[in-house]
Amino acid sequence: MVSRKVLDQLKIEIKEIENELIVYRKILGASPNPILITNNQMQIIYVNEAWVHLTGYKSDEVLGKNPRFLQSGKTPAAVYKKMWQHLQNGKPFSTREIIEKSKEGKEYQIHSAFFPVKNDGETIFYVQTMHDITAQKRIELLKTEFLSIAAHEIKTPLTTLKLIAQVLLRRFGHDEKNANAFMLLDREIARLANLVNELLDISRIETGRFHLNKERVDLVPLTREITKKMSLLAKSHEIVFYSNEKSILVFADVNRIEEVLINLLTNAVKYSAENTSVRITLSVRGSDVCISVSDSGIGIPKEQFTHVFERFYQIHEHRTSGFGLGLFIAKQIVKKHKGKIWVESTEGEGSTFYVSLPLLDQNNKRLYSKSIRQAVPVLQI
Ligand code: ADP
């Protein structure tokens, strides 16, 4: 027999749990962010007011259903796959790529965070919290389209200007003053041209039109050639190439990898003193190749290590500085190759940027080494 005292205690505890539940329900209900909860069979057991407002469905229309009826068909399958991998491993997952369809058939894009709720090691619920980013995405797209149109429009007159600057330099460059002015003009045009190319890359990245032409590439001759080219352009520095390997094969877009390496080398030159050396090395680490570009320049503070890869992020002012886009683009290129890019640095001593890329099967002897473009991307229009 359970004693009256125990029963009373139990009643108090149940009341407390009920009250707690009421508070949690109120909090979930009042959240401005849509929230959906399913049981471990993926049947909806709760949606809040914000979710009802977003989707147009009433709560009793959806309870017990699998949320897949919301799918628009526009979310990449890989996103759902990744989400499931995370949830099944008991990990949270967040993405900005989910596009769903409301009851009226209107598409909306959400920034979603998914997480499993566990009890005694067993997943009992899956929770999805959302933030409607449809309007934000539309504005981003308009901005990107505008950027792309503006960049294309600027490209043509810039090409003409560059030609004019070169003709002027050839015709009137024998006078030192003229030569300096025309060289400055040429350099500024190249800087603008570089910005235009970077903006076009950004607009391609953001609209998903950034495609790679992958082929078998031997990084050893490619990097050696890039080093030679950079040595001719940056006479103020000694650029040294080192590799233990005779051949390192990757499956990559040769032009894009060249763009990354030239960007890293250009930065190493830009942010270090004249007459110092810049070192580019290749080494094989397990199933990856690791490319490192080191300088003994001004360095980067530790707290900026991840920020330097963000868009328009610049720490140092530099007379020939770019616009803080180079490393952002480099990171997107490396990511597209399933690789990684990071930096290690000590302020006042120098920096080393690393790029790791997956190696091509080493048994594959069909080596492809494409001749490298003549023009250097940083100076190209
Ligand atoms: P930028 O065109 O301004 O060089 P990047 O995206 O290539 O743009 O680099 C972002 C910022 O990171 C630079 O403005 C600079 O402050 C810093 N940075 C990049 N490379 C180096 C380096 N090798 N040494 C010191 N700082 C660097």
pLDDT recorded at residue 267? 95
- Rounded Cα distance between 169 and 174, Å, is 8
pLDDT at 165 over 90: no
For tokens 């959400």, what's the residue? Answer: 110
pLDDT confidence tier of residue 362, bands split at 50, 70 and 90:
low
- C-alpha to C-alpha distance for 302 and 336, rounded to whole angstroms: 26
Instruction: With beta carbons less than 8 A apart as the criterion, state whether 279 and 242 touch.
Output: yes
Which of 144-179 are b and which e, b meaning 16 or more Cβ less than 10 Å from the residue's Cβ?
beebbeebeeebeebeebbeebeebbeeebeeeeee
Three-state secondary-structure class, residue 305: coil
Counting residues of the chain whose pLDDT is more than 70, the rounded percentage is: 93
Kindly indicate the confidence band of residue 293, based on its pLDDT and cuts at 50, 70 and 90: very high
Nearest to 318 by CA among 161, 185, 197, 191: 191
277-285 vs 249-252, strand pairing mode: unpaired
The residue with greater pLDDT, 233 or 242, is 242
Å from CA of 246 to ligand 1 middle: 31
Give, for ligand 1, the residue of 314, 317, 323 to mutate: max count of ligand atoms closer than 8 Å to Cβ: 314
Per-residue model confidence (pLDDT) at position 141: 86
| CB-CB contact of 70 with 47 (8 Å) | no
For residue 205, the model assigns a pLDDT of 87
- Residue nearest atom 16 of ligand 1, based on CA coordinates: 315
The residue whose C-alpha atom lies closest to atom 3 belonging to ligand 1 is: 324
CA dist., res. 214 & res. 263, Å (int): 20
pLDDT range class, residue 179, cuts 50, 70, 90: confident
Three-class DSSP category at 122: strand
For the chain, give the mean pLDDT.
Answer: 89
CA 327 to ligand 1 centroid distance, Å: 7
**Sequence-ordered strand ranges (E) for the chain:** 35-39, 44-47, 93-101, 107-119, 122-132, 215-218, 238-243, 249-252, 277-285, 288-295, 340-346, 350-358
Q: Which among 86, 85, 83, 106 has a CA at the least distance from the CA of 96?
A: 83
| pLDDT of amino acid 174 | 85
Q: What one-character DSSP code corresponds to residue 369?
A: -
- With a 6 Å cutoff on the Cβ, whether 125 touches ligand 1 is no
Q: What is the pLDDT confidence band of residue 349, given thresholds at 50, 70 and 90?
A: very high
322 close to 194: Cβ distance less than 8 angstroms: yes
What is the token pair recorded at 259? 């763009």
- For the CA of 299, the closest atom of ligand 1 is 25
Q: Report residue 92 as tokens.
A: 């949270």
What is the pLDDT averaged over residues 280-304? Answer: 96
Whether the Cβ atoms of residue 299 and residue 268 lie closer than 8 Å to each other? no
CB 307, CB 277: distance < 8 Å? no
Determine whether the shortest distance from the Cβ of 298 to ligand 1 is under 6 A.
yes
